[in-house]
Amino acid sequence: MARYARIVSTGRFLPEREVTNDELRARFDPVVPEFVTKMEESSGIRSRYWAPDDWATSDVALPAARQALERAGRKPEEVDLIILGTDSPDYITPATSVVLQHKLGAKNAGTFDIGCACASFPTGLACAAGLLAANPSLKTVLVVGVYLMHKLASPADPMIFFYGDGAGAAVLEAAAEPGFVASAAQADGAYHRHWGIYAGGTFEPATEEAVKAGRTTVRMLERYPPEINHEGWPRLTRKLAAAGGFAVSDLDFIIFTQVRKPSIELVMGELGLSMDKTHTVMEKWGYTGSACIPMALDDAMEQGKIHPGDLVAFVGSGVGYNQAAAAFRML
């Protein structure tokens, strides 16, 4: 009998400390006048939340994972596999997923990390779906997207405007009917030097000089052309529809990476979909990177925007660049 992955529950976590644009204006306007105002106008971001200074990424992931499991009626020891997506890990190695496994008490779970930045959650969903379909021994998979990038940025970098901390999670289990419909991916590594953390790995190990020069912090070295998302998201969505044997117009809902609201409005128009078929959270939570899609999914479900049987697509875009998408029929 065929097995299909289904999303049976979701969860999210947002830290307590709100950082408003007015707070950032007070910090940056004397140095970069009007920067925060311009970014607010171009992105729609008005606020973001930051975790305590002594928290690691796994600490941010933990409450979202617990909430998703509670909603699924599952105990941590019932989890067979944890897939965690982030590009702000606890360590270079070991994987953040194994740290989360320990903190969660999921003693029977295997783990692995996915590191394709903000495309990690759709990639994680696709991996979970494939593994559930192919392995009858797997019953419960926890997929987590988590972001703590503000801690890896220089406090003096105005681009910290974008970074909001948070986590989102989904529990996937096998069923006799979809569930999972299709996945798709595309990338262009020619952009790998545009935005990232460029010291601390094997390309340039961390040294005193690299730290002093700021190369161990996240930095934008070159501006990303807006066409990467404005043209890439529609192309990827159509590729996803072709893989799943459905028309784009069949989509009941679609959730994109939450970095610029005008980009989502433009792409929805290009796809011929109305804005009531999507959801945005960057306005209130900032850009939460690898966590933004599951956080937006959980928020949309909480608001009753997604219904049982809906065909929902998740389209993510991350530095590198990587882009990934997955489509599911919702419970």
Which among 161, 178, 195 is the end of a domain?
Answer: 178
291 & 322 share domain: yes
* Alpha-helical regions (H) of 34-136: 35-43, 57-72, 96-104, 120-134
Q: Looking at the structure, do residues 258 and 124 belong to the same domain, yes or no?
A: no
pTM: 0.98
Q: What pLDDT is stored for residue 1 in this prediction?
A: 73
Pair type for strands 110-114 and 81-85: parallel
- Tell me how many domains the chain contains: 2
Q: Check the CA dihedral 14-16-22-28 and report its sign.
A: negative
Whether residues 201 and 285 fall in one domain: yes
Q: How far apart are CA 298 and CA 49, in angstroms?
A: 17
154 and 31 within one domain: yes
**Co-location of 11 and 59 in the same domain:** yes
- What is residue 258's DSSP assignment? S
Give the pair of three-digit tokens for residue 89.
């890990």
Would the pLDDT of 103 be above 80?
yes
Burial class (CB in 10 A: 0-12, 13-18, 19+), 31: exposed
pLDDT at 27 over 90: yes
Query: What proportions of the chain, in percent to the nearest 5, are helix, strand and coil?
Result: 40, 25, 35
Whether residues 16 and 70 fall in one domain: yes
Residues belonging to the chain: 331
What is the domain extent for residue 214? 181-329
Same-domain pairing of 166 and 251 = no
Q: What gap in Å lies between CA 31 and CA 33, rounded to an integer?
A: 6
Say yes or no: 234 and 313 in one domain: yes
Q: pLDDT band at 13, cuts 50/70/90? A: very high
pLDDT per residue as tens digits for the range 217-230? 999 999 989 999 99
Same domain, 13 and 117: yes
CATH number at residue 321: 3.40.47.10
Summarize the confidence of residues 181-192 as an average pLDDT. Answer: 98
Residues 246, 312 within the same domain: yes
Report the distance separating Cα 170 and Cα 141, nearest Å.
8
Band of residue 165 on the pLDDT scale cut at 50, 70, 90: very high
Q: Quick one: average pLDDT of 92-100? A: 98
Instruction: Give the chain's mean pLDDT.
Output: 97
Check whether residue 152 and residue 9 sit in a common domain: yes
Are 169 and 248 within one domain? no
